[in-house]
Every structure is written in structure tokens, then in C-alpha cells.
């Protein structure tokens, strides 16, 4: 494949941040024995961490920030996830209705914000991508969302066409549309196959072209490989799409960018066939379903550092996921640096971030805090706390975070969506939760040992009652430790 002209110095030509949503309540649902009745997701938390609740001025600053971090493109969506976050008022009802297909959501002012933000993005030189779920439709007449509508069922098709038309109206503000077909989409009813999805892609793009004749498009292969989340019959891999000849040559194909699923061979297959390829990354710099402050320096360094030299020519665009808003700035900064130069030192990029965000005098402390969080908090956190968490390291992190002090005259080195002092407070809250959890686990292990040695039940019960606690979150996104604490406490009581 012929080398394409790239912006001077940048390894990945189109470096894009996807502005997504954290599944904030999902943590409770997965780990807390009280599920969505845990009550640890407050209105304040939604206000702070869910971007559909931010005002436009702050959202514009977000775009200024990602541009300053080295990205030149942004991906946004007007989808049910944002309505869930914007319509947090009755979370219990949402969870109850999620059990059945077709829950109700409230888009509020998010569709308009998407257009306004896309316009702003273009005004500062960013390219814009619109994310569209292919057959996970939303009926704007009834405000109901549907996981997987059938394009071959006349009644469901009618909802889909209504939904596609709503999406297409955004196209005037966008340069590129990417359609997604797996998790939660897919259909195997009424003769649907992966060919149906490709026909639907073409129809969505055609509708977009009526509003934006020059719009480019990508068909996402995200999750189509998965037995659980890819449900279109007939899909065997990128070759299925390439060989079917249903998508025009200009339609790009994008592959999974999640490090555990990323397959560079698919990029080669697609580009060898003369088609451009993108990488749609999820679970790379953020954990959408278990939102917390994760530090992904090593994860990002491994992913970008592991790209072969010819990725420069073969990868037309590469996204980085941003879902855990404001607690992920360090990851976005490091990713922005590595997209431009995958051979850059990720740790050094983290230091530069710390200097720009918190001031040169705080670099050593802040980097140590972030490094400790990366070491103690597993990105895949399903069994977090099943093994001990190093109490002294967790305490060190909290104590260093407490010492971070922002000078009155400090001005950050780049635009920020929260102030340096707010970031310092976040680091402190996160490390305090970590330290509380580590102390709890340590003490709980002691109680378990006493119980196993035959201590009287009354003594064991008394010991459980006085175990160190993890505070219930009120303002900070510290659910990871809180929900796992409830899970471990519940398990301890049962044994
Ligand atoms: Zn179908």
C-alpha cells in the first residue's frame, strides 16, 4: 500500500477522542450486593462526571483540551447512553425497565449540544465523527430505546428509519460517520445476516449525504467477532465484508482497539485489499463499565509502542476512549502523545502532564500517586480485593496526595475541564478510598483467620462490626472501592 501524506511528525494521521459516557450505576449493579439500591450515585456525581450534564462552555473547553493534548479529531454521539446519564433522576426506574427491551429515556438538550460542539470542534480545526448505532434504535416520538431492532420487520424498520433520519440530521455538522453493529445491536430474525447490516450502513450514509454530501464513512467491526455480542449471522471476519462487495470502496472498516482484542492482522487484511482502516478503541484509556480513576500509562505504552512501523500507513484513524470524564485526563494526555509518537516514553509523558496540570513542584508526588494507583487498582477489576491490596503503598499514595499544593499564581500548561485544585482534591479522594479499602481488606483477612481458627461466633461478629469502613461516595467517583468493599463485607458475613 502506498504511503499517504501524514501531518508532519505525527505517526497516526487522524488522532481522535471519542467522548462517551461512563456507565456510572453499572458498578453498583455488578459488585454491590444492594445492586442499584446501593444509593452511592448521587446527583452531584452525575453532575460532575456525566458530560450530558455539563454546560456548553465547559464542553468547549474539553475540545480545547484534547486539541492541546495532540488530537486532531473528536467523535461524539447522540445516543441512549447519554440520555441515561442526562436523565439520571429516576435511576431505579431505568434499571427496572432495562430488564425489558424498550426502556424510556429523555434526550433533554443533548442532541442540540452535539451539533453545537461539533461546530465548535470544526472552528478550532478538529475533524468531527458521528457515532451511530446501526440497529439499536431510539424512537424520538415515544422516547423509547431498543436494543436490536430488525431491519426486515416492517414495524421495527419503521422505527429504525425514523431513528436513522434523526441521526442523519446531525451530519451537516460532521465530516465522518461510523456505524456500529455489535453489542447491543445485531439481528438473526427474519433472514437478517451481516449483509443486512451492510445494506443498512449504505442507507444511513445515503441519508447523511442529503445533509452533508462530502461525509465519509466507516463500518465498525467492533464486537462482530464476539459470540456473545456479535449477532449477525454470516460474519467470519473482515474478509466477509471485503468479499461481499456490498460497501463502496471508500467506506473504511474499523477494528477493535481494546488491547486484549486488538488484531493487527485484520488491519493488514483490510488495507491489503485496498480499503482504508481505522482503529476504534474502547477499554484502552478508560473503563466505561467500571468507571473510576484508572491509570493506563503502561496499557497505553504497550498498545501504541507495539504498533508495527507500517501502522503509520495502514491506520487512517485511531480513536481513544474518554468515558471517565475528569478522572482520565492523565490517560488522554499520554495517549495524545503516543498517537503522535508511539516510541515516546509513556512515563515521561505522564510527568509532562503532571507538570502542566499541577505545577512543576508537584510532579514527583503526583506521578508517584498515579503510579501507585496504576499498581494497586486493576483495570479489569472484577475480582478486585480478592487478593490483598498493599496497605503501606495505598497509605503512601494518600499521604502524598495530601501534600499536593497548588500555588496561587499557578496557571496550567493547557486548557483543563477542572481546576488544578479540583484535580488535586480528586487525587486525594481517590487515594483515601484506596487506603480505606486496603485497610479494610487487611483487617477482614484477620477476622477470617480468627474465624477459621475457631473463635466464638459472637467474637467474630463483633470483629466484623468494628472493621474499618470505606466511605460511601457522595461527591467523588470512588465506587470501585466502595462497591467491592460491600461485596467483600457481604461475603465475610456469609462465611
Ligand atoms: Zn432481523
Residues 6+ apart with CB under 8 A from 427: 293, 366, 369, 370, 401, 404
Give the residue-averaged pLDDT of 405-433.
98
- For residue 87, pLDDT over 90 is answered with no
Residues 6+ apart with CB under 8 A from 286: 20, 22, 294, 296, 321, 322, 323, 324, 328, 331
Instruction: Using alpha carbons, list the distances in angstroms from residue 24 to 36, 90, 287.
Output: 11, 14, 11
The answer to whether 339 and 11 are in contact (CB under 8 A) is yes
Give the residue-averaged pLDDT of 191-213.
98
Distance 77 CA to ligand 1 centre (A): 24
Query: Which domains does the chain possess?
Result: 14-344 (3.20.20.80), 360-494 (no CATH)
Work out the pLDDT band at 23, boundaries 50, 70, 90: confident
Give the residue-averaged pLDDT of 69-83.
95
- For residue 88, pLDDT over 80 is answered with no
- For residue 411 the three cell numbers come to 496557571
- For residue 378 the three cell numbers come to 486493576
The answer to whether 130 and 178 are in contact (CB under 8 A) is yes
Phi/psi for 210 (5° steps) reads -65, -25
State the pLDDT at residue 37. 86
Distance 219 CA to ligand 1 centre (A): 18
Largest CA distance in the chain: 76
Give 94 or 482, the one with higher predicted confidence: 482
Distance CA 449, CA 460 (A): 10
The answer to whether 53 and 86 are in contact (CB under 8 A) is yes
- For residue 5, pLDDT over 70 is answered with no
Q: Where are the beta strands (DSSP E) in 111-225?
A: 127-133, 138-139, 144-145, 176-180, 216-220
Distance 139 CA to ligand 1 centre (A): 17
Distance 133 CA to ligand 1 centre (A): 15
Distance 246 CA to ligand 1 centre (A): 18
Q: Mean pLDDT, the chain, as a whole number?
A: 94
Distance 187 CA to ligand 1 centre (A): 4
Containing 394, the helix (H) or strand (E) segment is: helix 391-403
Residues 6+ apart with CB under 8 A from 237: 225, 266, 269
Percent of the chain with pLDDT over 70: 95
The reply to whether the predicted model has a pTM over 0.75 is: yes
Q: List pLDDT tens digits, range 319-372.
A: 999 999 999 999 999 999 999 999 999 999 999 999 999 999 999 999 999 999
Distance CA 240, CA 453 (A): 60
Residues 6+ apart with CB under 8 A from 84: 21, 94, 105
Q: What angle do CA 223, 225, 231 make, to 5 degrees?
A: 75
Distance 147 CA to ligand 1 centre (A): 12
Distance 157 CA to ligand 1 centre (A): 9
Percent of the chain with pLDDT over 90: 86
Amino acid at each position: 500500500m502506498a504511503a499517504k501524506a501524514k501531518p508532519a511528525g505525527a505517526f497516526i494521521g487522524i488522532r481522535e477522542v471519542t467522548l462517551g459516557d461512563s456507565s456510572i450505576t453499572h458498578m453498583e449493579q455488578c459488585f454491590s450486593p444492594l445492586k442499584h439500591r446501593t444509593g452511592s450515585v448521587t446527583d452531584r456525581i452525575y453532575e460532575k462526571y456525566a458530560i450530558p450534564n455539563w454546560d456548553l462552555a465547559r464542553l468547549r473547553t474539553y475540545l480545547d483540551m484534547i486539541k492541546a493534548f495532540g488530537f486532531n479529531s473528536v467523535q461524539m454521539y447522540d445516543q441512549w447512553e447519554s440520555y441515561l446519564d442526562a436523565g439520571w433522576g429516576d435511576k431505579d426506574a431505568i434499571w427496572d425497565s432495562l430488564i425489558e427491551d424498550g426502556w424510556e429515556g429523555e434526550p433533554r438538550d443533548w442532541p442540540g449540544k452535539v451539533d453545537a460542539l461539533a461546530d465548535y470542534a470544526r472552528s478550532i480545526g478538529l475533524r468531527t465523527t458521528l457515532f451511530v448505532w446501526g440497529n439499536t434504535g431510539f424512537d424520538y416520538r415515544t422516547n423509547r430505546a431498543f436494543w436490536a431492532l430488525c431491519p426486515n420487520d416492517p414495524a421495527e424498520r419503521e422505527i429504525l428509519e425514523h431513528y436513522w433520519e434523526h441521526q442523519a440530521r446531525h451530519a451537516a455538522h460532521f465530516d465522518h460517520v461510523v456505524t456500529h453493529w455489535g453489542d447491543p445491536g445485531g439481528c438473526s430474525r427474519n433472514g437478517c445476516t451481516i449483509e443486512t447490516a451492510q445494506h443498512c450502513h449504505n442507507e444511513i450514509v445515503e441519508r447523511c449525504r442529503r445533509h452533508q454530501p462530502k461525509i465519509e464513512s466507516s463500518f465498525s467491526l467492533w464486537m462482530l467477532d464476539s459470540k456473545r455480542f456479535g449477532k449477525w449471522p454470516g460474519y467470519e471476519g473482515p474478509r466477509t465484508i471485503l468479499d461481499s462487495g456490498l460497501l463502496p470502496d471508500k467506506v473504511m472498516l474499523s477494528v477493535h482497539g481494546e488491547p486484549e482484542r486488538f488484531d493487527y492482522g485484520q488491519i493488514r487484511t483490510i488495507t491489503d485489499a485496498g480499503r482504508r482502516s481505522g482503529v476504534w478503541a474502547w477499554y484502552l484509556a478508560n473503563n466505561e463499565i467500571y468507571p473510576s480513576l484508572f491509570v493506563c500509562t503502561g496499557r497505553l505504552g504497550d498498545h501504541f509502542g507495539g504498533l508495527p512501523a507500517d501502522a503509520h500507513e495502514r491506520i487512517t484513524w485511531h480513536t481513544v476512549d474518554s468515558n471517565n470524564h475528569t478522572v482520565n485526563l492523565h490517560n488522554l494526555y499520554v495517549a495524545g502523545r503516543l498517537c503522535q509518537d508511539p516510541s515516546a516514553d509513556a512515563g515521561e509523558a505522564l510527568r509532562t502532564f503532571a507538570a502542566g496540570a499541577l505545577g512543576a513542584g508537584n510532579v514527583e508526588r503526583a506521578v508517584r500517586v498515579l503510579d501507585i494507583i496504576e499498581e494497586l487498582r486493576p483495570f479489569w477489576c472484577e475480582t478486585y480485593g480478592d487478593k490483598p491490596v498493599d496497605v503501606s503503598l495505598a497509605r503512601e499514595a494518600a499521604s502524598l496526595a495530601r501534600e499536593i499544593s497548588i500555588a496561587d499564581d499557578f496557571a496550567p500548561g493547557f486548557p483543563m475541564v477542572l481546576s488544578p485544585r479540583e484535580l488535586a482534591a480528586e487525587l486525594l479522594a481517590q487515594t483515601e478510598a484506596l487506603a480505606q479499602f486496603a485497610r479494610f481488606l487487611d483487617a477482614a483477612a484477620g477476622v477470617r483467620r480468627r474465624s477459621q481458627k475457631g473463635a466464638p461466633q459472637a467474637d467474630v461478629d463483633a470483629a466484623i462490626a468494628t472493621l474499618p469502613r470505606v466511605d460511601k461516595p457522595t461527591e467523588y467517583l470512588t465506587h470501585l472501592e466502595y462497591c467491592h468493599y460491600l461485596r467483600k463485607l457481604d461475603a465475610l458475613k456469609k462465611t
